[in-house]
């Protein structure tokens, strides 16, 4: 357990609905990341945050929104879910430039 | 061209074999190189990291980086069935804690 929890662990939703995936760390590390993992694409960075109220886009940000009002929480929102957003989503924290610790993941299915 | 290229395999070896996993990268700014292991339906976990060129050994695992050829390797000696997993290589410039991952190689070690 790297001190990262993600909720929900499994989610099925319909196209067009708004969905929020939660990420919580028991530490107070500055850097937090959201990835999606798909067969054939590997891990792709969606958004990351260097501190509370500081966020930046990654490789595949379209259709996603993040916020970080508290250091320990980094929610990811799909504003209007599409089938192409069916994926496994991982949150990660980074205490050092070469270390990232991942949460258990959220399996999202958009029907 | 992706910044980190990795042969997806799959790779199947008998127990006790020496395994060689390899990646190439294109970003000259990378200073840190990591190997992650991911078991089925779990989040990736950091296995080893190397700073700049050189070798690093940890038990049965050896990580090797050759910056002149932009080549990253992971060697597993005396492979065990418990080593069966997907192995992901990653590179980082270090300044913003962002990692760039390869797509991962699926390894199966057969008893």
Nearest to B98 among A41, A45, A99 (CB): A45
* 3-state secondary structure (DSSP) of residue B83: helix
How far is it, in rounded angstroms, from Cα B86 to Cα A32? 23
pLDDT at A48 over 90: yes
Sequence-distant (6+) residues with CB within 8 A of B69 are: none
A61 touches B at CB < 8 Å: no
Nearest to B43 among A48, A90, A96 (CB): A90
* 3-state secondary structure (DSSP) of residue B67: coil
Mean pLDDT value of segment B33-45: 95
B32 touches A at CB < 8 Å: yes
DSSP character string of A11-67:
EEE-TT--EEEEEEESS--SEEEEEEEETTTEEEEEEEEEETTEEEE-S--TTEEE-
B77 touches A at CB < 8 Å: no
Write the pLDDT tens digit of every residue in A81-95.
999 999 999 999 998
Contacts of A104 in chain B (CB under 8 A): 42-43
Instruction: Indicate yes or no: CB of B49 within 8 angstroms of CB of A99.
Output: yes
Q: How many residues does chain B have?
A: 111
Mean pLDDT value of segment B39-52: 93
How high is the pLDDT of residue B79?
98
Weakest mean pLDDT among A104-108, B27-31, B71-75: B27-31
B46 touches A at CB < 8 Å: yes
How high is the pLDDT of residue A1?
60
Write the pLDDT tens digit of every residue in B51-66.
888 899 999 999 999 9
Is it true that the peptide bond before A81 is cis, omega within 30 degrees of 0?
A: no
Instruction: Indicate yes or no: CB of A94 within 8 angstroms of CB of B97.
Output: yes
CA–CA–CA angle B7, B3, A54 (5° rounding): 125
- What percent of chain A has pLDDT above 90? 87
Instruction: Indicate yes or no: CB of A98 within 8 angstroms of CB of B42.
Output: no
pLDDT at A54 over 70: yes
Distance from CA of A96 to the nearest CA of B (A): 7
Contacts of A48 in chain B (CB under 8 A): 96-98
| Reported confidence tier of residue B8, pLDDT bands at 50, 70, 90 | confident
Mean pLDDT of chain B: 93
Contacts of A42 in chain B (CB under 8 A): 6, 88, 101-104
């Amino acid at each position: 357990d790297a001190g990262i929890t993600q909720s929900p662990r499994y989610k099925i939703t319909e196209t067009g609905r708004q969905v929020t995936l939660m990420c919580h760390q028991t530490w107070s590390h500055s850097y937090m990341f959201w990835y999606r993992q798909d067969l054939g694409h590997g891990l792709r960075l969606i958004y990351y945050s260097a501190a509370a109220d500081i966020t930046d886009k990654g490789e595949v940000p379209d259709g996603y929104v993040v916020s970080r009002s508290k250091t320990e929480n980094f929610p990811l929102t799909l504003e209007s879910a599409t089938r192409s957003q069916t994926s496994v989503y991982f949150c990660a924290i980074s205490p050092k430039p070469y270390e990232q610790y991942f949460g258990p993941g959220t399996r999202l299915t958009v029907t | 061209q992706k910044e980190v290229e990795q042969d997806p395999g799959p790779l199947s070896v008998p127990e006790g074999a020496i395994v060689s996993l390899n990646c190439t990268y294109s970003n000259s700014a990378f200073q840190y190189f990591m190997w992650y292991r991911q078991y089925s339906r779990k989040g990736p976990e950091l296995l080893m990291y190397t700073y700049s060129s050189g070798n690093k050994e940890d038990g049965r695992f050896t990580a090797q980086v050759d910056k002149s050829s932009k080549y990253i390797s992971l060697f597993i000696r005396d492979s065990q069935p418990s080593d069966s997993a997907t192995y992901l290589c990653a590179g980082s410039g270090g300044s913003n804690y962002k990692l760039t991952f390869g797509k991962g190689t699926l390894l199966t070690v057969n008893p």
